[in-house]
């Protein structure tokens, strides 16, 4: 099915993606296998990935605390490879919107594990260390590219308002850059409470957040203003509580007894 996803007609891809996600959920031997499969689906499905697929992988991750570290590393390195190696980065951003959104969600929730967790062992046997600056660089890159795409699409009223063009069947015909920017903002405000940041690193994230307070997109502007006000709260404990991690999701009843699988991050 994954191979067929590459060659199938665009009009059939959303239904095929949903079918694969359902089968991965029903027949997965381990939770790690399910997460790996869903990430591949988002990578291969491109702009045809419906919101239900994104929800499936987020639910699978959130319901498996033992794989938080693995999942956030998996998505981080997949994003780096997908966006960093493409010469047509704008095209890569458009075709990998679901992957980018899921990656930003995971980094926002579990970004502390990227820099403080067990880490990843590379092919040479040495540990790959990820720093706060590495994480911030990726977020800034995504925000820059998504903002540029949003500016180039400014002629479309629908794009300015929502950032997502809707197909006749109700599926997302293209994951809009404004939606990616929304994920960026949420990721940033969570990392400001998650990571042990230097003054310079904190300034970079706060500057990125404040850039959207004057966005032409009303939703982005409102969200950025709300998050900026949240950061101005005098009580640090209240800020951490409001931006706390999503509690472990209980998951669907048939999936609760599914084995977790290997939890080490020796290969992503």
Supply the CATH number for residue 189's domain.
1.25.10.10
Q: How far apart are CA 91 and CA 96, in angstroms?
A: 8
What does the block give as tokens for 43? 């990578």
Alpha-carbon gap, residue 214 to 218, rounded angstroms: 9
**pLDDT surpasses 90 at 186:** yes
> CA 62 to CA 56: how far, in whole Å?
10
If you compute the radius of gyration of the chain from its CA atoms, what whole number of angstroms results? 18
Of the two residues 34 and 117, the one the predictor is more confident about is 34
131, 137, 104: which is closest to 115 by C-alpha?
131
In a domain, 253, yes or no: no
Over residues 116-131, mean pLDDT: 76
Q: Comparing C-alpha atoms, which of 39, 139, 23 is closest to residue 96?
A: 39
* pTM (two decimals): 0.84
Average pLDDT, stretch 1-27? 80
> Which position has the higher pLDDT, 199 or 170?
199
The percentage of the chain sitting over the pLDDT mark of 90, rounded to a whole number, equals 37
Query: Sorting pLDDT into bands at 50, 70 and 90, what band is 82?
Result: confident
Classify residue 264: in a domain, yes or no.
no
What value does the mean pLDDT of the chain take? 80
**Inside any domain, residue 267:** no
Q: Which domain holds residue 13?
A: 7-152+174-243
**Does a structural domain hold residue 95?**
yes
Q: Cβ(122)–Cβ(113) under 8 Å?
A: no
pLDDT of residue 153: 62
183 part of a folded domain: yes
Question: Percent of the chain at pLDDT above 70?
Answer: 80
pLDDT confidence of residue 131: 93
Token pair, residue 138, equals 């990726």
Instruction: Please give the Cα distance from 31 to 44 (Å, whole number).
Output: 20
Tell me the pLDDT band of 52, cut-offs 50, 70 and 90.
confident
Confidence check: pLDDT of 154 > 70: no
Q: What is the pLDDT of residue 157?
A: 39
- Find out whether 256 and 250 touch, Cβ atoms under 8 Å: yes
Report yes or no on 251 lying in a domain: no
**pLDDT band at 249, cuts 50/70/90?**
low
State the distance between the two ends of the chain, measured CA to CA, in whole angstroms. Answer: 22
Count of structural domains, the chain: 1
CA distance 87 to 54: 26
Upper half-sphere CA count for residue 205 (Cβ side, 13 Å): 29
HSE of 58 in the Cβ direction (CA atoms, 13 Å)?
Answer: 20
Residue 23: its pLDDT value, please? 86
Q: Is residue 190 left, alpha or beta, with left meaning phi > 0 and alpha meaning psi from -120 to 50? A: alpha
């Amino acid at each position: 099915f994954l191979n067929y996803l590459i060659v199938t007609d665009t009009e059939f891809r959303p239904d095929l993606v949903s079918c694969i996600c359902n089968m991965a959920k029903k027949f997965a031997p381990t939770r790690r296998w399910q997460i790996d499969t869903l990430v591949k689906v988002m990578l291969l499905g491109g702009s045809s990935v419906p919101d239900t697929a994104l929800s499936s992988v987020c639910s699978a991750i959130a319901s498996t605390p033992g794989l938080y570290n693995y999942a956030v590393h998996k998505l981080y390195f997949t994003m780096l490879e997908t966006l960093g190696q493409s010469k047509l980065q704008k095209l890569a951003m458009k075709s990998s919107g679901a992957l980018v959104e899921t990656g930003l969600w995971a980094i926002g929730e579990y970004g502390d594990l990227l820099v403080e967790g067990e880490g990843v062992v590379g092919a040479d046997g040495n540990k790959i260390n990820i720093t706060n600056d590495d994480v911030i660089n990726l977020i800034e890159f995504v925000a820059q590219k998504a903002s540029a795409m949003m500016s180039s699409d400014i002629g479309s009223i629908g794009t300015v308002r929502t950032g997502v063009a809707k197909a006749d069947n109700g599926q997302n015909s293209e994951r809009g850059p404004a939606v990616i920017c929304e994920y960026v903002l949420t990721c940033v405000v969570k990392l400001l409470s998650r990571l042990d940041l230097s003054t310079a690193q904190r300034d970079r994230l706060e500057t990125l957040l404040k850039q959207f307070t004057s966005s032409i997109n009303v939703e982005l502007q409102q969200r950025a203003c709300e998050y900026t006000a949240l950061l101005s709260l005098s009580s640090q404990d209240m800020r951490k509580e409001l931006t706390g991690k999503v509690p472990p999701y209980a998951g669907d009843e048939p999936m609760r007894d599914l084995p977790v699988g290997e939890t080490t991050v020796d290969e992503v």
